[in-house]
Structure 1
Amino acid sequence: MTPPKFRHAIAADIPALVALVTSAYRGDASRAGWTTEADLLDGQRIDPLVLAADIARPRSVVLLAERNDFPGSGPGQGLLACAHVAEEDGAGYFGMFAVRPDLQGGGVGKALLAQAERTAREDWGLATMRMTVIDVRDSLIAFYQRRGYVRTGILKPFPYGDERFGIPLREDLRFEVLEKDLGAA
């Protein structure tokens, strides 16, 4: 596969981003990949207004991985993967990580994660990257552990009742904070 190119999302990318993130995490389409949350959550995975705010705020970017050999040439065409990277509480925050289900396991996600870490470390001078993962997602946590993230034991409640983040299908969901030392900038 041709290596992806990276760029920062703009407002025109929001519809394609919502479609990508939804396809990676919700409904039957998500079951083609290994990152599905279809048995845990229903409803939307990302709110377009939250996404617009993430794109617009300082020290926050939505990274896109694209390949121009995919059909189309407009916003969202050739979109392979995305992730939100921001500075929060003096550390990098990594979230909204989504790879097209038919491309999961092919290296695009690993490349995007590395680019996100470079952004936090080199562009913003941050020594740590954090993320939150639903703590019952063992295979996803193992993926991050293989890339140097450690479980902190810090648990955060799932936002039950806030449908912007999905409709829980279980009553035991919570987030665990994972963290990685990015080294000196």
Structure 2
Amino acid sequence: MDTTASGLTFRDAIDADVDALVALIESAYRGDASRAGWTTEADILEGQRTDPQGVLDVIKSPDSRLLTVERDGVVVACCQLEHRGTHAYFGMFAVSPTLQGGGLGKVIIAEAERAARETWGTMEMHMTVISVRDDLIAWYERRGYRRTGRMTPFPYGDERFGVPQRADLQFELLIKELG
């Protein structure tokens, strides 16, 4: 465990964390609860953001870590790190909506980048962001990520990823050098 000066504890998720992590991820992105934070996708997607099996798959994958962040024993954030050869993939990032906007996300993404470098020796972090999320993309750009213009289609028709409320959704690849 790594405890920072900000009173946070970082650890890898375990099976017993699944329900808390699903609830956290859903609260950060879906429904009215997500509107308390700025990362909500409630206006562009309804339905689920993840499910217990999706979270468990990340926990169990030999090439992934689901970094879980606690404050005073309560799960307040998480992110997925996946080793993909020469780079790491960053995903499933969620911060409790009531704690967003206070700098917690910056601390977590910095820890995720450090962990990817130290664990796998990767020199690049990749992520995909829904291309219409201009505010979120701008936040990542301020953290050193760059837009690539490389798009992949949104999985329309697969409700495991949500129910789109517009027809123009796609994912853009963002990349950061981890020098």
Q: TM-score range, shorter-chain basis?
A: over 0.9
Superposed structure 1 runs of 4+ greater than 6 Å apart: none
**Whole-angstrom CA distance in 2 between matches of 1:88 and 1:29:** 33
1:18 pairs, out of 2, 16, 22, with: 22
* TM-score (ref. length: structure 1): 0.91
2:88 pairs, out of 89, 92, 112, with: 92
Alignment of 1:132-143 (within 5 A): 132-143=128-139
Residue identity matched to 2:134: D
Question: Which residue is 1:106 aligned to?
Answer: 102
Matched, 1:27 2:31: yes
Question: Which residue is 1:71 aligned to?
Answer: none
Per-residue deviation, residues 41-63 of structure 1 (Å, max 9, x unmatched) = 00110122121111111121111
**Whole-angstrom CA distance in 1 between matches of 2:85 and 2:148:** 16
Task: Report deviation, 1:156.
Answer: 0.4
Residue ranges of structure 1 left out of the alignment (5+ in a row): 69-76
Query: Does the residue aligned with 1:53 lie in a helix, a strand or coil?
Result: helix
Per-residue deviation, residues 1-35 of structure 1 (Å, max 9, x unmatched) = 94311011001100000000000000000000000
Bigger mean CA offset, 137-146 vs 115-124:
115-124
Matched, 1:37 2:5: no
Residue ranges of structure 2 left out of the alignment (5+ in a row): none
**Whole-angstrom CA distance in 1 between matches of 2:154 and 2:105:** 25
* Distance 1:89-1:166 versus aligned 2 partners, 3 A rule: farther
Per-residue deviation, residues 144-183 of structure 1 (Å, max 9, x unmatched) = 0000000011000000011111111111100000000001
Question: Which residue is 2:60 aligned to?
Answer: 56
**Whole-angstrom CA distance in 2 between matches of 1:182 and 1:117:** 7
RMSD: 1.2
Share of identical aligned residues, percent? 60
Question: Which residue is 1:72 aligned to?
Answer: none
Question: Which residue is 1:74 aligned to?
Answer: none
* TM-score (ref. length: structure 2): 0.94
Question: Which residue is 1:178 aligned to?
Answer: 174
Q: Is the 8 A contact 1:47 1:165 kept in 2?
A: no
Matched, 1:3 2:7: yes
Q: How many residues align?
A: 175
Matched, 1:163 2:159: yes
Task: Report deviation, 1:90.
Answer: 2.6
